[in-house]
C-alpha cells in the first residue's frame, strides 16, 4: 500500500493558493496557476493532496495517452490504435512532475520519421504531455526551464492538444491538464510574455502568526508519526472537499456570464491597463469556476472580485482592485 499524501484539508493557511488550485481543477481552461514563493510553503504538498480529492476517471486501458472511451474512438486512427476498443478502467488522477532539465522531446514526445516513411504508419513515443492528460502537470521551478519548453506547456494548456511535427508529418493527441507552476522569485523571473500566459498567479509566504506556525509543526509531526492515522482524522473534511469539487465540475457548464458581467470584466481589465484580451477571458473563466465552487449558476460581484485578484496582479500596470466587483445587473 502506498504512503498516504498529506491531506489538502489539513494545510494551515495559504487560502489563496488553495483556492487557485481548486479553480484550476474545476476549470482547466483557466490555463494554469503560477505559485510564487519561498521553499517550504506547502506548494507541492497542496498539489499532491489536491489530486487525492479528485474524482476517478474512466480510461481506455492499454494506451499511454490516458484517453476516455470517447477520445479513444475519436483519436484511434490518428494515433494508430487497435480497432477493437479496449476495456474501460477507473483510475486516479495523476500528478505528473516535469523535471527542470526536461527537453522538448521529453515533454512533447518524438515522432519516428524513418518508421513513418518506410512502414507507412506513424510511430510516436509519447512524452510528459500525454502522461498528464486529464491529470495535473506540476512544474517546480518553472522559471528555470527553457523558454521554448514553457511556451510548449502553455500552448498545450490553452489548446487542450499537443501536436508534434517533423518534416511535414504531424501527429496530434489530446493534452488537457491542470497546469501548476511554482517558482522562487529570488532564483529569477519569468519573461513578462510567459508570465501573462499563466491564467492565475498567487504569492505565498511563510506564516507570521506564532499560533499558526505551531499548528503547522504539530500537524506535520503527527503525520510523519502515523500517516494513515493522521489522514484518517481528516477523512470527513477531505470527503466534503472532494464532493464539493466534484459537484462544481458538474455544475460549471451551467454557469452563465451575462452581458453585464462581461462589460464589468472588460472595464476592469481596461482600468488595470493589461495588454491584449487574455486577462478578460481568463477572468470570466475564473469567475465561472468560483460560482460553481460556491454551488451557484450565476456570477455575483464577489466572484469577480476574487477572480480579479487571481488574474490581474501579475499582468497589471495600475492597481484598481479595491473597486472591482461592482457588477451592473442587466
Give all strands (DSSP E) within the chain, no chain letters: 33-37, 57-60, 88-91, 95-97, 109-111, 124-126, 136-139, 161-166, 169-174, 178-183, 200-204
Q: Do domains 33-56+92-191+200-204 and 255-323 have the same CATH topology?
A: no
Confidence of residue 328 (pLDDT cuts 50, 70, 90): very low
Q: How far is CA 71 from CA 30, 42, 65, 74, 76, in A?
A: 22, 35, 10, 5, 8
pLDDT tens for each residue of 31-44: 889 999 888 788 88
Q: Which three cell numbers stand for residue 41?
A: 510553503
Per-residue pLDDT at 158: 82
pLDDT tens for each residue of 194-253: 777 889 999 998 888 999 999 999 999 999 999 999 999 999 999 999 999 999 999 999
Per-residue pLDDT at 322: 46
pLDDT tens for each residue of 156-184: 888 889 888 876 778 888 999 888 988 88
Q: Which residues of 138-163 are buried (b: 16+ CB within 10 A; e: fewer)?
A: bbbbbbebeeebbbbbbbbbbeeebe
278 labelled catalytic:
yes
* pTM listed for this prediction: 0.84
Architecture field, domain 33-56+92-191+200-204: 3-Layer(aba) Sandwich (3.40)
DSSP alpha helix (H) spans, 80-123: 104-108, 113-119
Fold for the domain defined by 255-323: Helicase, Ruva Protein; domain 3 (1.10.8)
pLDDT tens for each residue of 94-122: 899 988 888 888 898 887 766 656 655 66
Q: Bridge partners of 109?
A: 126
pLDDT tens for each residue of 120-154: 566 778 889 999 999 999 988 888 888 888 888 88
Domain map of the chain by residue range? Answer: 33-56+92-191+200-204, 255-323
Confidence of residue 330 (pLDDT cuts 50, 70, 90): very low
Asked if residues 297 and 256 have their Cβ atoms less than 8 Å apart, the reply is yes
Of the residues 57, 76, 106, 278, only one is catalytic, namely 278
DSSP tag of 77: T
CA distance 164 to 154: 15
Nearest alpha-carbon partner for 323 in 271, 276, 261, 285: 271
Q: In the chain, what percentage of residues exceed pLDDT 70?
A: 92
Nearest alpha-carbon partner for 1 in 291, 227, 247: 227
What is the CA 168 to chain-centroid distance, rounded? 32
What is the biggest distance separating any 2 CA atoms in the chain, rounded to whole angstroms? 68
Nearest alpha-carbon partner for 263 in 315, 321, 327, 197: 327
- Which residue, chain included where needed, has cell 470517447? 70
Asked if residues 202 and 20 have their Cβ atoms less than 8 Å apart, the reply is yes
218: CB partners within 8 A, 6+ apart? none
Amino acid at each position: 500500500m502506498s504512503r498516504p499524501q498529506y491531506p489538502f484539508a489539513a494545510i494551515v493557511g495559504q487560502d489563496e493558493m488553495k483556492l487557485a488550485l481548486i479553480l484550476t481543477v474545476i476549470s482547466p481552461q483557466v490555463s494554469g496557476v503560477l505559485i510564487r514563493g519561498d521553499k517550504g510553503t506547502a506548494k507541492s504538498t497542496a498539489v499532491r493532496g489536491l489530486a487525492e480529492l479528485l474524482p476517478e476517471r474512466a480510461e481506455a486501458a492499454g494506451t499511454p495517452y490516458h484517453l476516455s472511451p470517447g477520445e479513444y474512438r475519436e483519436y484511434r486512427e490518428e494515433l494508430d490504435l487497435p480497432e477493437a476498443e479496449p476495456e474501460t478502467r477507473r483510475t486516479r488522477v495523476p500528478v505528473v512532475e516535469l523535471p527542470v532539465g526536461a527537453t522538448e522531446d521529453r515533454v512533447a514526445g518524438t515522432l519516428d520519421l524513418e518508421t513513418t516513411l518506410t512502414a507507412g504508419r506513424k510511430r510516436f513515443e509519447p512524452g510528459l504531455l500525454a502522461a498528464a492528460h486529464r491529470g495535473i502537470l506540476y512544474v517546480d521551478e518553472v522559471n528555470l526551464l527553457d523558454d521554448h519548453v514553457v511556451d510548449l506547456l502553455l500552448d498545450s494548456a490553452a489548446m487542450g492538444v499537443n501536436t508534434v511535427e517533423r518534416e511535414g508529418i504531424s501527429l496530434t493527441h489530446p493534452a488537457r491538464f491542470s497546469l501548476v507552476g511554482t517558482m522562487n522569485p529570488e532564483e529569477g523571473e519569468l519573461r513578462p510574455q510567459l508570465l501573462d500566459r499563466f491564467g492565475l498567479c498567487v504569492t505565498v509566504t511563510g506564516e507570521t502568526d506564532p499560533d499558526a506556525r505551531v499548528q503547522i509543526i504539530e500537524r506535520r509531526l503527527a503525520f510523519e508519526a502515523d500517516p494513515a492515522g493522521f489522514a484518517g482524522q481528516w477523512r470527513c473534511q477531505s470527503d466534503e472537499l472532494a464532493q464539493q469539487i466534484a459537484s462544481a465540475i458538474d455544475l460549471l457548464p451551467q454557469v452563465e456570464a451575462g452581458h453585464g458581467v462581461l462589460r464589468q470584466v472588460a472595464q476592469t481589465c481596461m482600468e488595470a491597463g493589461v495588454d491584449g484580451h487574455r486577462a478578460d477571458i481568463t477572468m470570466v473563466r475564473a469567475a465561472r469556476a468560483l460560482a460553481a465552487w460556491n454551488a451557484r449558476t450565476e456570477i455575483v460581484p464577489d466572484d469577480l472580485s476574487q477572480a480579479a485578484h487571481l488574474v490581474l496582479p501579475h499582468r497589471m500596470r495600475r492597481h484598481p482592485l479595491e473597486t472591482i466587483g461592482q457588477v451592473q445587473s442587466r
